[in-house]
Amino acid sequence: MVLARPEVDGPDANGPDTDAPGAGRRGGEARADAVARRGALRRGGMRFALMALPLVFFALFFAWPVAAIVGRGLKADGAWQFGRITEVLGDPDIGHVLWFTTWQALASTALTLAIALPGAYVFARLDFPGKQLLRAAVTVPFVLPTVVVGTAFLALLGRGGLLDQLWGVRLDTTVWAILLAHVFFNYAVVVRTVGGLWSQLDPRQEEAARVLGASRLAAWRRVTLPALGPAVAAAALMVFLFTFTSFGVVQILGGPTFSTLEVEIYRQTAELLDLPTAAVLTIVQFAAVGAILAVHAWTVRRRESALKLVDPAQTARRPRGAAQRVLLGSVLAVVALLILLPIGVLVQRSLDTPDGYGFGYYRALQAAGDNGSFLVPPIEAIGNSLQYALAATAIALVVGGLAAAALARRGTGRLMRSFDALLMLPLGVSAVTVGFGFLITLDKPPLDLRTSWILVPLAQALVGTPFVVRIMLPVLRAVDGRLREAAAVLGASPLRAWREVDLPLVRRALLVAAGFAFAVSLGEFGATVFIARPDHPTLPVAVARLLGRAGDLNYGQAMALSTILMVVCAVSLLVLERIRTDRGGEF
Amino acid sequence: MLKLDGATVRFGQRAALDAVDLEVADHETVCVLGPSGSGKSTLLRVVAGLQPLDAGRVLLGGADQAGVPVHKRGLGLMFQDHQLFPQRDVAGNVAFGLRMRGASRAEQAARVGELLDLVGLPGAERRAVAALSGGEQQRVALARALAPSPRLLMLDEPLGQLDRTLRERLVVELRSLFAQLGTTVLAVTHDQGEAFALADRVVVMRDGRIAQTGTPLEVWQRPASEFVARFLGFENVVPATVTGAVAATPWGKVPVPPGSPQGEVRLLLRPGGIRLVPSRDGLPCEVVARTFRGNHVALRLRPGAGPLLEAECDLAAAPEVGSGVGVAFAAGGVVVLAED
């Protein structure tokens, strides 16, 4: 997603180094490697001040809980039990989980690329009516809670699902349901990352190759593909990361047969209470995610090679010729079948009561019910979710904003790059581990948050922060430091200059970041399911609870609640699409 | 007004400013001229307070500026690429400095209108800066820098990005504007034409040091060193031995002005001091190239011995390429250069 394009279009890649004194446009009088010592010290101090809060936040609410739970699992009688690791990894059942986690992630990634790359081209280079709306529509799944994605595919492919009714076909017992749900979920990642760059590549580069004698295919292969390659790699890595750590989707669609590491960690922790095994699996997942992020960082750096970028509006054209029309048609068909249909079926199921179509299931959400699974009416989950998500958004904006401000400052060394990577880790580390870690670490003074409502927003903010950083960083980097200098010379103090120059330029990006953090917090499931109090469920938790019970009423209510959750997410996304800046297009 | 006292800035091993002493008097326009990398932009940044000094002092109106932050120095700086605030309109940009000083809205509006008139953009208040042409942005940047009535106005390559005709017009406008306002101006540029047209006094910089200071005429007529001569575009620089009023050069004997230093020197023969004569009356040369320069023609000549020679002549008298001419030197066009 996401993690990538910012670095591509950052004008900073080759632009003048704004902190380097005198380094003007014409090839600086001073190079960045020769920085006055005093200035460097001052900047170092400023950066540290900016980093302090994010570092404390991540240490307290991420590193400590995760370390505590791993420690608890691997320590017995005060001694480390590293033998556990080989023991667990030698277990054939665990081996099976590892194997499945890996191959389903690879298969999901390949399938997503195969299906979404033509889509990336169509959205980047072709102009057709309704394109903006459709682009927003394909992005909706990405911010949908995984639980809702699982539910939608259950309604489409599962028992009594649409395919079951029409042709008696059920896929929920096969791996295809998981793979297709992953494609549904990650389609936007590829379209946004690859398509975003594709739409900005100067078509004249390809034209130059054509004039020099390259065929259409050769020009694409020799000029466009190498330029896109790193973006494709980054998108593939992100899809792999998301599917490798998939929880909600597999939890709902996997049944007893299919289990990813994350699901297994949940099962070992919550159902079997086998902490040592869960700890080992957490470490394995941590190592795998670390490796993926390292590769990702490497591709990002490679992508910083200078690309000639142009305004996307100039590159899109109406489709010409049969080939392009067929391509457009098939992409639209895929979008309709794979993205719009599951969403539609979900909505349809929520309205399809035994007494005909109506809002029966929605009304039922207002009752506490007699099934014992809810202490409060499920409808209250909406209020809880909104409150938690708002608080989480505020936390993520502060933490992520400060971190991005620190990272946006010049002279990024090895230390800062590892700080950058640290911020991404929560995306990949088992949310279940984090949630459970919260319970065992934040339960005693001075930090006893067990009964505090803030526990849930803190966990959700952990997932929202990486998005805030990714959105804010390129925009902050793009602010020309000399604008700030211009303000200073005109009499603005540093704080005033920031308010007058930076803030107006990043305000929209801040809104976009807030929206994403909100949507992601709203949908967070893995950690929330552990720490949300039974009388204060969030929407995804309530949906999962309803799905876990038998009976048409529960199922219908789950669909209704999912629809509500989807609408809330989609509305916040559509609002974002309207205020989106041309710079902020990486999501 | 401004005094630099041994100002030194080092980036690693390299000195961007090397013990520079410079004074700018009230109402004076001083232009720092130098190739890129000579430290002239660093000079402006030091005065503005954007670049800390490693040694030396900056004094404004007699007061040492050490410890005075940028925003309290009360200067105007026009950036090379203007750096207009993209999210504000023209009025918002021009009024920025006034707002920072707490001027009332009415004051701001009046001053903005006044300045836009002054720079020739009346009524442009509500225009978006992105919609302005390069020349208009230039004017807005100037108005923005002038609006708070800075005690010293600094210009970084003020006309660098504009096309030639616009540049020539703006130079004239700026000069009369500064004279009218009595502004003290410190400008830096790599363009000699710009510097000579704008400045009361020109300061040529090289590698962080001042190579020559003087009025435009002095610098143009008597470049102090080979570096300055070559930077100004002169190419006829040769080693010579001066004996009395005559110098021995690869091109033969050349008269030098009376009182010239004796012995081994470097000699500049200004093209304007070279006369074309019939072949037998002077140094015989072959015309290698000729370039039309508007009111005269620049010639490249190959003498029998020594390097190529630059000369100029009237349009009507210009010889054909390949033809033979003679060259005679006048003492008035010969400059004995100091050691670099």
Rounded to a whole number of angstroms, the distance from the CA of B292 to the nearest CA of chain A is 29
CB contacts, 8 Å: A496 with chain B = 71, 100
Buried b (16+ CB within 10 A) or exposed e, B277-288: eeeeebbbbbbe
Among the listed ranges A259-263, A351-355, B160-164, which one has the minimum average pLDDT value? B160-164
User: In the predicted model, is pLDDT for residue A472 greater than 70?
Assistant: yes
Long-range contacts of A287-291 (CB under 8 A, 24+ apart): A288/A244, A289/A241, A289/A244, A289/A245, A289/A425, A289/A427, A289/A428, A289/A429, A290/A425, A290/A428
Give the pLDDT score at A578. 65
Contacting B with CB below 8 Å, chain A residues are 21-22, 24-27, 29-31, 33-36, 38-39, 480, 482-483, 485-494, 496-497, 500-501, 504-505
Q: What is the pLDDT of residues B92-103, one digit of tens each?
A: 999 999 988 888
Residue indicated by tokens 């849930």: A456
- What is the ipTM score, two decimals? 0.80
Give the pLDDT score at B210. 93
Q: What is the pLDDT of residues A45-60, one digit of tens each?
A: 677 777 888 888 888 8
Rounded to a whole number of angstroms, the distance from the CA of A310 to the nearest CA of chain B is 17
CB contact under 8 A, A39 and B37: no
Rounded to a whole number of angstroms, the distance from the CA of A303 to the nearest CA of chain B is 28
Q: What is the pLDDT of residues B266-289, one digit of tens each?
A: 999 998 888 888 888 888 899 999
Please state, in angstroms and rounded to a whole number, the distance separating the CA atoms of residues B329 and A223.
59
Q: Is A451 exposed, middle or buried (0-12, 13-18, 19+ CB in 10 A)?
A: exposed
Q: What is the pLDDT of residues A145-160, one digit of tens each?
A: 777 788 788 888 877 7
Q: What is the pLDDT of residues B239-259, one digit of tens each?
A: 999 988 899 999 888 998 888
User: In the predicted model, is pLDDT for residue A256 greater than 60?
Assistant: yes
- Across the range A480-486, mean pLDDT stands at 84
Check if B97 contacts A (Cβ < 8 Å): yes
Report the residue of chain B nearest A503, measured CA to CA.
B87
Closest Cα partner for A179 from A151, A150, A155? Answer: A150
Which of B10, B40, B148 lies at the smallest CB-CB distance from A491? Answer: B148
CB contacts, 8 Å: B41 with chain A = 22, 24, 29
CB contact under 8 A, A34 and B156: no
Report the residue of chain A nearest B51, measured CA to CA.
A21
Highest mean pLDDT among A495-499, B26-30, B157-161: B26-30
Give the pLDDT score at A583. 40
User: In the predicted model, is pLDDT for residue A581 greater than 60?
Assistant: no
Q: What is the pLDDT of residues A447-471, one digit of tens each?
A: 776 677 788 888 888 888 888 887 7
User: In the predicted model, is pLDDT for residue A17 greater than 60?
Assistant: no
Check if B66 contacts A (Cβ < 8 Å): no
Check if B45 contacts A (Cβ < 8 Å): yes
Domains of chain A plus CATH, in order, are 55-348+365-582 (1.10.3720.10)
Q: What is the pLDDT of residues B299-340, one digit of tens each?
A: 999 998 888 999 988 888 888 898 889 999 888 888 988 876
CB contacts, 8 Å: B68 with chain A = none
- Return the number of other C-beta atoms located less than 10 Å from residue A189's C-beta: 26
With beta carbons less than 8 A apart as the criterion, state whether B166 and B120 touch: no
Q: How confident is the model at residue A108 (pLDDT cuts 50, 70, 90)?
A: very high
Question: Which amino acid, A194?
Answer: V
Rounded to a whole number of angstroms, the distance from the CA of A515 to the nearest CA of chain B is 23
3-class secondary-structure state, position B101: coil
Mean pLDDT over all residues of chain A?
Answer: 76
3-class secondary-structure state, position A495: helix
The CA-based angle A453-A289-A177, given to 5 degrees, is 80
CB contact under 8 A, B39 and A489: no
Please state, in angstroms and rounded to a whole number, the distance separating the CA atoms of residues A543 and A178.
18
CB contact under 8 A, B83 and A24: no
Q: What is the pTM of this model?
A: 0.70
Please report the residues numbered 121 through 140 in chain B whose beta carbons come closer than 8 angstroms to any beta carbon of chain A. Answer: none
User: In the predicted model, is pLDDT for residue B294 greater than 70?
Assistant: yes
Give the pLDDT score at A429. 76
The CA-based angle A327-A330-A336, given to 5 degrees, is 140
Please state, in angstroms and rounded to a whole number, the distance separating the CA atoms of residues B208 and A44.
28
Give the pLDDT score at A24. 36
With beta carbons less than 8 A apart as the criterion, state whether A334 and A544 touch: no
Report the residue of chain B nearest A18, measured CA to CA.
B50
Give the pLDDT score at B212. 93
CB contact under 8 A, B70 and A488: yes
- Return the number of other C-beta atoms located less than 10 Å from residue A48's C-beta: 11
Which of B14, B52, B79 lies at the smallest CB-CB distance from A486? Answer: B79
Give the pLDDT score at B228. 92
DSSP label of A212: T
User: In the predicted model, is pLDDT for residue A144 greater than 80?
Assistant: no
User: In the predicted model, is pLDDT for residue A41 greater than 60?
Assistant: no
Report the residue of chain A nearest B85, measured CA to CA.
A483
Please state, in angstroms and rounded to a whole number, the distance separating the CA atoms of residues B309 and B326.
12
User: Between B288 and A131, where is the model more confident?
Assistant: B288
Q: How confident is the model at residue A580 (pLDDT cuts 50, 70, 90)?
A: low
Give the pLDDT score at A299. 66
Give the pLDDT score at A394. 92
Closest Cα partner for B282 from B313, B327, B250, B331? Answer: B327
Question: Which amino acid, A130?
Answer: G
Cis ω for the linkage preceding A203 (within 30 of 0): no
CB contact under 8 A, A29 and B38: yes
CB contacts, 8 Å: B9 with chain A = 21, 36
User: In the predicted model, is pLDDT for residue B184 greater than 90?
Assistant: yes
Tokens describing residue A384: 């809880």
Q: How confident is the model at residue A577 (pLDDT cuts 50, 70, 90)?
A: low
Q: What is the pLDDT of residues B131-145, one digit of tens each?
A: 888 888 888 998 999
Hey, of B71, B75, B186, which one would you mutate to test binding to chain A, going by the most A CBs within 10 A of its CB?
Answer: B71
- A:B CB pairs within 8 Å: 113
